[in-house]
Structure 1
């Protein structure tokens, strides 16, 4: 497997893990008080937005030419960092 394929698979696996974590947070939000649930839903919607952006970057990465690979990979790294920050922020509010 090429380094490119390995990177794509690694990103897909991480995205799958975070999708599972979003599902867990959604379940926690359902059990929260009404006021807290509204805030949690806002956080979850933000996470889902970041997840969709990251998924889009992953698709771009899969289809990038060799010439565009470095540029698209940088975009993926940037998107991933935003997703990680949003997840960390939301998770801290759920605790």
Structure 2
């Protein structure tokens, strides 16, 4: 397996894990008080959007040519890091 394939597989695994964990947090948010639940729903919508963006960037990464690979990796890492940060913040609020 090439380094490129390993990187793509690693990022895909990370995103899949984050989405699974987000589903667990969503269940916890549903059990929260009503006033907090509304705030959590808003945050979950934002995180779902970040997840979609990360998956789209991963798809772009899979088809990237050698000339654009480095730029897309940099973009992918920024998107992933923002998603991870949002997730950790949300988890700390529950």
1:1-95 equivalence runs, <5 A = 1-94=1-94
Q: CA deviation at 1:81?
A: 1.1
Q: Distance in 1 between matches of 2:30 and 2:51?
A: 20
Q: How many residues align?
A: 94
Q: CA deviation at 1:29?
A: 1.3
Q: CA deviation at 1:88?
A: 1.2
Q: CA deviation at 1:27?
A: 0.5
Q: Distance in 2 between matches of 1:35 and 1:69?
A: 45
Q: Which has the higher contact order (CA 8 A, sep 6+)?
A: 2
Q: Distance in 2 between matches of 1:63 and 1:30?
A: 38
Q: CA deviation at 1:32?
A: 1.2
CA RMSD, Structure 1 to Structure 2 (Å): 0.7
Q: Distance in 1 between matches of 2:36 and 2:12?
A: 31
TM-score in terms of structure 2 length: 0.96
Runs of 4+ that moved beyond 2 A: none
Q: Distance in 1 between matches of 2:85 and 2:23?
A: 17
Where structure 2 has 5 or more consecutive residues not aligned to the other structure, the ranges are: none
Q: CA deviation at 1:42?
A: 1.0
Q: Distance in 2 between matches of 1:2 and 1:79?
A: 23
